[in-house]
Structure 1
């Protein structure tokens, strides 16, 4: 008999990506015992909340959640509040909190430059040999053409004792949801997600006071490079492939001419290879 958790993941992969959140909720209602495993394993579109203390929006995910409460990166407090003894283990302090504040300031500027709106959040927490974190972006559009872009960048940083370098591991997921509704086309929907991973050893500052800033800069560069790469991949995979399929179904040119052009292109490539 199949493992219930594996069966649930297999089912979610076969259902429409645009309905992942609703399908996940339905599965949890059927098997409450799988809630924690499913929430930590399935990427869904991010939700946002308003920080009551600062009045700024922040993004909610499994990494800043404790039950039904979520920690704001702006106030460093859970909303709604949790028990003080629990908060002591879940709220970062010291260098981790300083880096978290700096990363949030950096990604907020990046969000304005590349998203021109939306919401961003970053969360860090300490590990035995370094720290880990997540950087989040969300942008939605409404109207005749609706759209949603959710970026989830999970990172793990390993610091080697006595060395001025650190090992960074970044796993990034982009969830894209596009839709069009009009009298001309009725309705059209395109949704899915893309996950990529990268690792790198990067240098840190020479002085202890520069190490924290070096981590912030390295994280920012890795996230920016990954987002650019994945944005180009999404354009190629989603729209390039859709254009090819439509072209094969109904071409502007006679398909016989298209076929001859492709054969001529292949012939040129083969001759160049020889």
Structure 2
């Protein structure tokens, strides 16, 4: 999928935030809402800075050429932004979300962006950026969804008690699935469910990889108990395992 290659080449940097001049609402910037040095707001459907020779409203041919979705796809984009704005508030309790759709010859594609920055204490900061790029391809009775999701996680702290720590990285996962989609509302529901399930899965994986591995490394560097206590515990575990095999 060519969208996957585009995504993997542009996910090494956290998402930037801009304020929509028409609505006063924040939105996220990415290559998928960009035209030159201008970025399209999902709330107003306007580029900032404005594009020269902007297409007339309702002109699908000119809109597609200028990076704007057709009227039908824009209608779904508006509904998706409303849905993911609620999703963001429920799951992230803050942050910024943006959804962008565009036309394909045999369906449509889009990207769902979510960003949350947390500063729980002095000298501590965490940033979560998730980027979900999908294609929705029309089939005879079903829609094929190709989803590529990337999460960029950054954790940093600098305090007198814990010292300085910076833990950053990203994770990418993909899924392909066919689902019934007989209406625009069902399309939005399918995309929302796929993104929700993928985010939950990736969050659990990140928790295991980041924090579980960090705990193992620290444990190998410095144990809580003495070496003699650790040796006794390991010997007891071996005795138990040996007795279970008899």
In which range does the TM-score fall when normalised by the shorter chain?
0.7 to 0.9
Describe the shift of the 1:108–1:266 C-alpha distance in structure 2 as closer, same or farther (beyond 3 A): farther
Q: Is the 8 A contact 1:121 1:135 kept in 2?
A: yes
Q: CA RMSD in A?
A: 2.5
Structure 1 segments unaligned to the other structure (5+ residues): 1-36, 206-210
Answer yes or no: is 1:54 the counterpart of 2:31.
no
Note the C-alpha offset of 1:147.
1.1
Residues 177-216 of structure 1 deviation map (CA, whole Å, 9 limit, x = unaligned): 11111122332111111111111111123xxxxx111110
Partner of 2:59: none
**TM-score scaled by length of structure 1:** 0.77
Cα distance between partner residues in 1 of 2:89 and 2:175 = 25
Partner of 1:208: none
Partner of 1:97: 74
**TM-score scaled by length of structure 2:** 0.85
Answer yes or no: is 1:184 the counterpart of 2:161.
yes
Cα distance between partner residues in 2 of 1:166 and 1:267 = 56
- 3-state SS, counterpart of residue 84 of structure 1: coil
Greater helix share, 1 or 2?
1
Note the C-alpha offset of 1:258.
4.0
Note the C-alpha offset of 1:50.
0.5
Cα distance between partner residues in 1 of 2:15 and 2:177 = 27
Answer yes or no: is 1:215 the counterpart of 2:187.
yes
Cα distance between partner residues in 2 of 1:267 and 1:202 = 52
Q: Is the 8 A contact 1:69 1:79 kept in 2?
A: yes
Answer yes or no: is 1:242 the counterpart of 2:214.
yes
Out of 101, 123, 133, the residue aligned to residue 110 of structure 2 is 133
Describe the shift of the 1:181–1:226 C-alpha distance in structure 2 as closer, same or farther (beyond 3 A): same
Cα distance between partner residues in 1 of 2:22 and 2:73 = 21
Return structure 1 stretches of 4+ with deviation > 3 angstroms.
37-40, 254-274
Q: Is the 8 A contact 1:77 1:91 kept in 2?
A: no
Q: Is the 8 A contact 1:40 1:62 kept in 2?
A: no
Partner of 2:37: 68
Partner of 1:154: 133
Q: Is the 8 A contact 1:92 1:124 kept in 2?
A: yes
